[in-house]
């Protein structure tokens, strides 16, 4: 045994020496091998996105070996009897061959499709995690933008991919795209020609989408993933607040061996689950749809989930918003849901870190994450955006809701039109209230401790319930955050009555800052805790309002309800 181990060790050290003499890799290994990464389940979401992308590349390479990106028409004469003698493009015929003649081809195509859905889902939930915990704050704003571009590229990759098989479903999807592009003022018609190489559908679109899908977009995604991960390593990962976790350290486990095993293993878990999904759940059975033809269309057709919000917007927008101005047609009924709303949504997302930095005026680095409750307006904003997104998503399935729940399609559409405007406002208000409530709950717990269920009777007949104080580790997570306060603004005129430069910018900043931080709950201070202990529990039981009548947790500023509208 010992001699064999020595041989192995000698071989390893020989290889290491060879590499180090030629690349100086020792420095990198020294720096990286024991690099510390923090642990939290929500940090896996980004990993899922990365691993689905690797699965996409692996299965995608398999598919390119058999798929023919051509719109040349052929007559199908393959094993699938139902399509025999049917005229179809080579793209569709080769997709059928992938299912019927290439053993494992269907599995690879279904893994590829499921992985694409999971890729987008993981990106979106990862983005939610980063948003709600404030991980986008300085110094990570650039990486937020990189991640945002990755999401857009993911949408583009998905769209170019599912259009490739040239079946009835994807062909009509392309036709909708053509209609949307044509609605763009001035250049719409030319952009349609630009995309299709002439009139729809032409014979260029599939090869063009193919080049986008297998070369350009994945190349960009790969490069940006590299940049994204480089910045993660450079900044060191954020960590959740907790005992021993500070802005100046990172607490967790070493890359080698713990994360090599955990993260490496997780790749295989993601791949395995995708294989299970593809093996047991049919997705996009193109042999049922048939080849694209400009005449037929399927009812109850939905795009992949990440495109559904656009489809929902198109369905909700009333037609009356198409205008003719000086002889030119302006199709706001298409332009607003398909171009303006996603444009606003995406711009708001990309710009959010900069908006919040403007409101806080905060130039410090942040490596400790926020608990979402401790940033009520941010959390509420995120939930409001998600609510609008979700309403559009449901609206994209309004026909399925109508058929499955036997409701009137028109009624559903009218309801969604209202909900699109009302629901985000309600969600904003409710989320903000929930966050403030949870913060109060934290205060309550810190001040009074856990309820024990033990009732004690004093000699004088008084009953109290014994509360168990929090230990210092439990307490720390509830008191460690700093309560942000609205920015104070200098007066418009200085002491000599001269207008101060930059007052308007400051006033705007103060307004934004008030919106963000006016309502807040301050964390418990040691003095408050001491006061609570000195009073003892029975004060709380009696429930007399204290003389001042002002609850200590509500900090200065106008009444909390002032901004509830």
Partner 1 sequence: MSNEQSSTDLTVSGAGTSPAAFQDPGMPPHQERMADKDPAAAKRAERQTVVLFAVSVLGTIGMLVAYFLFPSGDTVESMRTSNLLLGLGLFLSMFGIGAAAVHWAKTLMSDHEQAEARHPQKSDPETREAALAALEAGAKDSGIGRRGLLKGAVVSAVALAPLTFAVPLVGQVGGDWNVSNFRHTLWERGRRLVRDPSGDPIRAADVTIGSAYHVIPDGLREGEHASHWIEEKAKAVVLMVRMDPRDLTEAEDRRDWSYEGIVAYSKICTHVGCPVALYERQTHHLLCPCHQSTFDMADGAKVVFGPAKRPLPQLPITVDDEGYLVAQSDFTEPIGPSYWERLK
Q: Quick one: residue 202, left, alpha or beta (phi over 0 = left, psi -120 to 50 = alpha)?
A: left
- Tokens of residue 334, six digits: 């298409």
Q: CA end-to-end span of the chain, whole Å?
A: 76
The least distance separating partner 1 from the CB of residue 494, rounded to whole angstroms, comes to 32
Distance CA 259, CA 270 (A): 15
- Tokens of residue 52, six digits: 């689905």
Q: Which is nearer to partner 1, 116 or 317 (CB)?
A: 317
The contacts of residue 332 (CB under 8 Å, 6+ apart) are 317, 321, 322, 323
The least distance separating partner 1 from the CB of residue 436, rounded to whole angstroms, comes to 10
Q: Which is nearer to partner 1, 188 or 353 (CB)?
A: 188
**Do residues 50 and 126 touch, judged by C-beta distance below 8 A?**
no
The least distance separating partner 1 from the CB of residue 424, rounded to whole angstroms, comes to 21
The least distance separating partner 1 from the CB of residue 548, rounded to whole angstroms, comes to 5
The least distance separating partner 1 from the CB of residue 22, rounded to whole angstroms, comes to 29
Distance CA 87, CA 75 (A): 4
CA 263 to chain centre: 20
Distance CA 331, CA 329 (A): 6
- Tokens of residue 1, six digits: 């045994």
Q: Which is nearer to partner 1, 13 or 410 (CB)?
A: 410
Bridge partners of residue 239, in order along the sequence: 368
Q: Which is nearer to partner 1, 20 or 39 (CB)?
A: 39
The least distance separating partner 1 from the CB of residue 533, rounded to whole angstroms, comes to 10
Q: Which is nearer to partner 1, 125 or 413 (CB)?
A: 413
Q: Which is nearer to partner 1, 17 or 411 (CB)?
A: 411
Tally the residues of the chain.
565
The least distance separating partner 1 from the CB of residue 277, rounded to whole angstroms, comes to 8
In whole angstroms, how large is the CA radius of gyration of the chain? 30
Tokens 């045994």 sit on residue: 1
DSSP sequence for 415-444: HHHHHHHHHHHHHHHHHHHHHHHHHHHHHH
Name which of 564, 481, 547, 525 is nearest 240 in CA terms.
481
Q: Which is nearer to partner 1, 3 or 280 (CB)?
A: 280
Q: Which is nearer to partner 1, 353 or 382 (CB)?
A: 353
Q: Which is nearer to partner 1, 307 or 512 (CB)?
A: 307
Distance CA 230, CA 210 (A): 29
Question: Is residue 221 classed as helix, strand or coil in its secondary structure?
Answer: helix
Bridge partners of residue 331, in order along the sequence: 322
- Tokens of residue 65, six digits: 């070996």
The least distance separating partner 1 from the CB of residue 380, rounded to whole angstroms, comes to 18
- Tokens of residue 228, six digits: 């994204």
Q: Which is nearer to partner 1, 236 or 511 (CB)?
A: 236
The least distance separating partner 1 from the CB of residue 188, rounded to whole angstroms, comes to 5
The least distance separating partner 1 from the CB of residue 90, rounded to whole angstroms, comes to 14
The least distance separating partner 1 from the CB of residue 330, rounded to whole angstroms, comes to 8
Q: Which is nearer to partner 1, 124 or 183 (CB)?
A: 183
Cβ neighbours around 331 below 10 Å, total: 21
The least distance separating partner 1 from the CB of residue 535, rounded to whole angstroms, comes to 5
The least distance separating partner 1 from the CB of residue 512, rounded to whole angstroms, comes to 24
280: exposed, middle or buried (Cβ count in 10 Å: 0-12, 13-18, 19+): exposed
516: exposed, middle or buried (Cβ count in 10 Å: 0-12, 13-18, 19+): buried
Q: Which is nearer to partner 1, 20 or 444 (CB)?
A: 444
The DSSP secondary-structure symbol of 184 reads S
Distance CA 105, CA 59 (A): 9
- Tokens of residue 60, six digits: 């995608």
Q: Which is nearer to partner 1, 216 or 510 (CB)?
A: 216
């Amino acid at each position: 045994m010992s001699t064999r181990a020595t041989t192995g060790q000698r071989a390893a050290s020989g290889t290491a020496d060879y590499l180090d003499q030629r690349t100086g890799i020792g420095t990198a290994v020294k720096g990286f091998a024991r690099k510390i990464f923090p642990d939290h389940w929500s940090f896996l979401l980004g990993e899922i996105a990365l691993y689905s992308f690797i699965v996409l590349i692996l299965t995608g390479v398999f598919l390119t070996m058999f798929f023919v990106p051509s719109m040349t028409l052929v007559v199908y004469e393959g094993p699938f009897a139902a399509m025999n003698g049917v005229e179809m493009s080579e793209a569709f015929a080769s997709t059928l061959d992938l299912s019927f003649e290439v053993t494992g081809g269907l599995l690879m195509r279904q893994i590829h499709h499921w992985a694409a859905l999971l890729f987008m889902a993981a990106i979106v939930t990862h983005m939610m995690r980063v948003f709600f915990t404030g991980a986008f704050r300085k110094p990570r704003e650039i990486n937020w933008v990189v991640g945002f571009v990755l999401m857009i590229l993911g949408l583009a990759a998905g769209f170019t991919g599912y259009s490739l098989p040239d079946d009835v479903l994807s062909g009509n999807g392309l036709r909708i795209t053509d209609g949307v592009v044509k609605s763009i003022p001035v250049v719409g018609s030319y952009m349609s020609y630009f995309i299709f190489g002439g009139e729809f559908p032409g014979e260029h679109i599939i090869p063009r989408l193919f080049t986008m899908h297998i070369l350009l977009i994945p190349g960009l995604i790969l490069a940006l993933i590299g940049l994204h991960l480089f910045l993660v390593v450079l900044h060191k990962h954020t960590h959740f607040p907790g005992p021993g976790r500070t802005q100046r350290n990172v607490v967790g486990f070493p890359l080698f061996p713990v994360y090599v095993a955990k993260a490496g293993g997780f790749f295989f878990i993601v791949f395995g689950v995708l294989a299970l999904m593809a093996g047991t759940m049919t997705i996009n059975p193109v042999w049922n749809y048939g080849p694209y033809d400009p005449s037929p269309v399927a009812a109850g057709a939905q795009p992949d989930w990440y495109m559904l919000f656009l489809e929902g917007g198109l369905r909700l927008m009333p037609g009356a918003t198409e205008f003719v101005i000086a002889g030119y047609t302006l199709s706001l009924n298409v332009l607003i849901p398909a171009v303006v709303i996603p444009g606003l949504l995406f711009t708001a997302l990309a710009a959010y870190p900069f908006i919040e930095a403007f409101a806080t005026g905060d130039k410090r680095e942040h490596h400790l994450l926020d608990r979402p409750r401790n940033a009520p307006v941010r959390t509420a904003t995120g939930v409001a955006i998600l609510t609008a997104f979700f309403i559009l998503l449901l609206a994209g399935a309004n026909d399925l809701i109508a058929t499955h729940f036997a409701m009137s399609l028109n009624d559903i559409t009218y309801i969604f039109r209202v909900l699109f405007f009302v629901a985000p406002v309600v969600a904003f208000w409710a989320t903000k209230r929930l966050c403030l409530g949870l913060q109060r709950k934290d205060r309550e717990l810190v001040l009074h401790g856990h309820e024990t269920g033990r009732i004690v009777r004093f000699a004088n007949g008084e009953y109290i319930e014994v509360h168990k104080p929090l230990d210092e580790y439990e307490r720390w997570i509830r008191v460690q955050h700093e309560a942000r306060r609205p920015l104070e603004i200098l007066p418009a005129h200085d002491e000599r009555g001269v207008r101060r430069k930059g007052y308007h910018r400051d006033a705007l900043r103060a307004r934004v800052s008030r919106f963000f931080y006016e309502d807040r709950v301050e964390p418990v201070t040691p003095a408050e805790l001491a006061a609570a202990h000195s009073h003892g529990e029975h004060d709380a039981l009696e429930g007399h309002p204290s003389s001042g009548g002002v609850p200590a947790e509500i900090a200065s500023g106008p009444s909390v309800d002032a901004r509830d509208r």
